[in-house]
Amino acid sequence: MTPFTTLTGIAAPYPRANIDTDLIIPARFLKTIKRTGLGKFLFDPVRYRPDGSEEPDFVLNREPYRRAEMIIAHENFGCGSSREHAPWALADFGIRCVIAPSFADIFFNNSMKNGILPIRLPREICDALMGDAAMGGNARISVDLARQVVIRPNGEEIHFEVDPLRKRLLLEGLDDIGQTLQHEASIGTYETKQKAAQAWLPSISI
């Protein structure tokens, strides 16, 4: 997993509440177990017309937001089913951070495990950041995870809270597998001892 330290980029303003996972990535695209290739289907119901052409009014179809690395939205982002494909689709598009007043718990957890930083900020602050983002490519918003601040284009710093363990894992780029592999030497030592102590057990190869 790519570490998340600081991010400075274009933020897409999406002033909508209750953005559910079926809007983020519809169920018909859940057949794959790969984390790549889903970005083109992100927000498919509102990003494309029935004939497959782009919906020109949708924010991610407009410049400079085609290159957005952040999304700013309203309450309850990521509600609905628990599909992990939702953060996969966001990450594959290039989104590394979502700022909203609140998130669905499962989506929040899944995002953290996939290198996406969800930041909870009050509605009025989200609206102010959307105003910044609406200025386009010249309005860069920064996120400094180590210092736990969002930095507006005017230099104002807005503090946000993050769980210390989740913060460390994001900074170090560790998902669940990465955490386990940190103990690889201890695991190997344990397995060697177990094989010696229980040599009578049949050897199983996978």
pLDDT band at 201; cut points 50, 70, 90? low
pTM of the predicted structure, to 2 decimals? 0.86
206 within domain boundaries: no
144 within domain boundaries: yes
pLDDT at 35: 84
* Structural domain harbouring 90: 6-194
For 55-78, write each residue's pLDDT tens digit: 999 999 999 999 999 999 999 999
What percentage of the chain has pLDDT greater than the value 90? 76
Query: Does the pLDDT value for residue 182 go beyond 60?
Result: no
pLDDT at 205: 52
List residues bridging with 159 in a β-sheet. Answer: 149
Q: Which of 58-62, 137-141, 180-184 has the lowest mean pLDDT?
A: 180-184
pLDDT band at 100; cut points 50, 70, 90? very high
1 within domain boundaries: no
pLDDT band at 178; cut points 50, 70, 90? low
25 within domain boundaries: yes
139 within domain boundaries: yes
Average pLDDT, the chain: 91
Number of domains present in the structure of the chain: 1
74 within domain boundaries: yes
Query: Does the pLDDT value for residue 86 go beyond 80?
Result: yes
CATH number, domain with residue 13: 3.20.19.10
pLDDT at 188: 67
203 within domain boundaries: no
pLDDT at 112: 95
For 156-174, write each residue's pLDDT tens digit: 999 999 999 999 999 999 8
10 within domain boundaries: yes
